[in-house]
Amino acid sequence: MKSPARRLDPAEIDASYRAYGASVLRRARRLLGDEDEARDVLHEVFMSLIESPQQVRGTGPLLAWLYGATTHASLNRLRNQRTRARLVAADNAAMGAGAPPGAERDAIVRDLLARIPAELAKVAVYYYADEMTHEEIAAVLDCSRRHVGDLVERLHESVRAVVSPSPQEVEP
């Protein structure tokens, strides 16, 4: 059952941008690995809030909603083929220029997140990157803790399928 919508007025949205904008930007930067893309997500999230303030549901902290919206927007960008291609090209160029050892791993993780279903990618970010508990994830996703456990299991199955596809999925 979804929580009721909350009404935010322009002053609250402005105060939220000032209070949480840096956190939203940091989260987007961490997920995307690109400053310009992260800034675009920051603006996209707050423009969405201005255009449709009723989309915020429940009585929980606005920062939790902003994190969820930022994760969603960032994952959508990763799914965008042009963006994914640009990220891979940038990571390859960076690796040739003495990039940190984690750059290749980060590119692989971003590609994996782009290849699994969106709902499961969100769970992966919350569970592994944010180290949230099932209860915390349930609060962010507005679902039961048991459902989060099911989603984590589906996540593992989906990752296994992407990492080692069945013989019928491999093209000759």
The overall average pLDDT reported for the chain is 81
How many domains does the structure of the chain reveal?
1
- Is 93 contained in some domain? no
Q: How confident is the model over 55-99, as pLDDT tens digits? A: 887 667 888 889 989 999 998 888 775 555 665 666 666 555 555
Contacts 24+ apart (CB under 8 A), 156-163: 158/116, 158/117, 158/120, 159/112, 159/116, 159/124, 162/112, 162/115, 162/116, 163/112
C-beta of residue 89 within 8 angstroms of C-beta of residue 139: no
Neighbouring residues of 23: CB distance < 8 A, sequence distance ≥ 6: 63, 66, 67
- Is 129 contained in some domain? yes
Share of the chain above pLDDT 70, in %: 78
C-beta of residue 37 within 8 angstroms of C-beta of residue 28: yes
Q: What is the CATH number of the domain that holds 169?
A: 1.10.10
pTM of the predicted model, to two decimals? 0.60
Higher pLDDT, 135 or 104: 135
